[in-house]
Amino acid sequence: MRLRKSIAALFAAAVAPVLIATAGPAAASEDVDTSGTPVAEADTLISDADRVETMVVGGRDATQDYPFIATLIRPDGSLGCSGSLIDEEWVVTAAHCVYGGRADGNSLRVGSINGHEGGTVVDFTEIVIHPDYDDSEVTRIDMDIALLRLESPVPDAQPITLQARRPADDQYGLLLGWGQQCAEPGGCGQADILQELDVLIDNRLGCESGFNSETELCHVAAHGTGPCYGDSGGPVLAERSGFTYLAGLTARMGYPGVDGASPICGQGVTIATDVSAHYSWIQSHIRV
């Protein structure tokens, strides 16, 4: 699985002015899990003119299968948040997607880039929310991560790899999601086909909205593009040593709206839960 570097030149020009140069790369610990999905041969670089103008906002239809991708399916058949299969019986997503009964009656579709067909549809029997998450307290929204135990193992499961070391600053990644397809809050529906979006991961980008650099990642896409409402919980993928791994979970926009209104998508940086910061917590549940 190869992560695209197609907008490296674009980011170099568009993102560099907002970098905070005084911060250095995050300290790295040893990887606990270095196995994972092998990276294919390098893709041909894609020019700006070749980018598909579909939305995440501003992404493209998935260019390959993602056997670990998951989406919540509401009782009426509409799509909820996204998630990632990390074990044949466990999916990880954002806590705010399932907190306070918000996922009651939902099921999961795993392994299909079409949110309405294919893959494996399975119920989940347990929701494990990080004990330090509480969306009623602004100072604690950074622990935005939850685990869903599946009712039965996914056949021929191909989970995404986890690592215990966060991505370095100034690293490219790939965001996936089925979120709203236009920038204005509530202005349109979600995608039917999974969307991809190239992002730059760098905690010096100036994320706001209660950003915690110890447990979260800050990333940005090309101007006018970015995750939107409905992309929550979806994966932010990165590469290390030739393997693709789950670096983050889309959590919230990293900039405020105007005059207290909800932010308009694609206008700035985005915050993702740093999966490596919760590696031990995840392992303590899925390995019992």
pTM of the predicted model as reported, rounded to 2 decimal places:
0.81
Q: Which domains does the chain have, with CATH numbers?
A: 63-287 (2.40.10.10)
Query: How does pLDDT run across 178-218, given as a tens digit for each residue?
Result: 988 777 776 677 888 999 999 999 999 999 999 999 999 99
- 96, 130, 219, 278: the catalytic one is 96
- 6, 130, 142, 144: the catalytic one is 144
- Backbone CA torsion sign across 76, 80, 85, 90: negative
**pLDDT exceeds cutoff 80 at 137:** no
- For 276, list phi and psi in degrees, rounded to 5: -65, -30
- 232, 274, 276, 278: the catalytic one is 232
Query: How does pLDDT run across 12-67, given as a tens digit for each residue?
Result: 333 333 332 223 323 333 344 433 433 332 232 222 222 223 335 667 889 899 99
pLDDT of amino acid 288: 66
Q: How far apart are CA 128 and CA 287, in angstroms?
A: 14
Q: Using alpha carbons, select from 272, 169, 162, 286 the residue that is nearest to residue 227.
A: 272
pLDDT of amino acid 115: 95
Residue type, 41: E
Residue type, 79: L
Instruction: Look at 278 and 260; give whichever has higher pLDDT.
Output: 278
* Residue 96 annotated among the catalytic residues of the structure: yes
| Average pLDDT for 76-96 | 96
Q: How far apart are CA 20 and CA 212, in angstroms?
A: 16
* Residue 144 annotated among the catalytic residues of the structure: yes
Q: How far apart are CA 68 and CA 196, in angstroms?
A: 14
Question: 164 vs 89, 201, 234, 249, CA distance in Å?
Answer: 20, 17, 19, 15
**pLDDT exceeds cutoff 90 at 121:** yes
pLDDT of amino acid 128: 97
**pLDDT exceeds cutoff 90 at 261:** no
**pLDDT exceeds cutoff 90 at 130:** yes
* Residue 280 annotated among the catalytic residues of the structure: no
Q: In the structure encoding, which two tokens stand for residue 218, read together?
A: 């800050």
Strand partners, 147: 92, 128
pLDDT of amino acid 1: 58
